[in-house]
Amino acid sequence: MPQSGSICPLLHAGQSQLSEKELARAFYHRGNAYNEKEDYDRAIQDYDQAIRLKPDHADAFSNRGVAYGLKGDYDRAIQDYSQTIQLNPNNANAFYNRGNAYRSKEDYDRAIQDYDQAIRLSPNRANAFHNRGLVRFYQGQFTASVADFSKAAQFASPSLYRIRILLLYIAQARSGNNAQDDLSKATNGFNLRNGRDLWFPCI
Q: Please say whether the dihedral angle defined by the alpha carbons of residues 98, 101, 102 and 103, taken in this order, is positive or negative.
A: positive
Give me the tens of pLDDT residue by residue for the chain, a chain 203 residues long: 445 455 555 555 455 567 888 999 999 999 999 999 999 999 999 999 999 999 999 999 999 999 999 999 999 999 999 999 999 999 999 999 999 999 999 999 999 999 999 999 999 999 999 899 989 988 988 888 888 888 888 887 655 656 666 666 766 666 665 656 656 655 554 554 445 666 555 44
pTM > 0.75: yes
DSSP 8-state secondary structure symbol assigned to residue 88: -
How many other C-beta atoms are found inside a 10 Å radius of the C-beta of residue 135? 23
CA 37 – CA 5 distance, rounded (Å): 13
Say how many CA atoms lie within 13 Å of 129 toward its Cβ: 21
Cβ distance 81 to 98 under 8 Å?
yes
For helices 92-104 and 74-87, the axis angle rounded to 10 degrees is 160
Torsion angle of C-alpha atoms 28, 31, 35, 41, degrees rounded to 10: -140
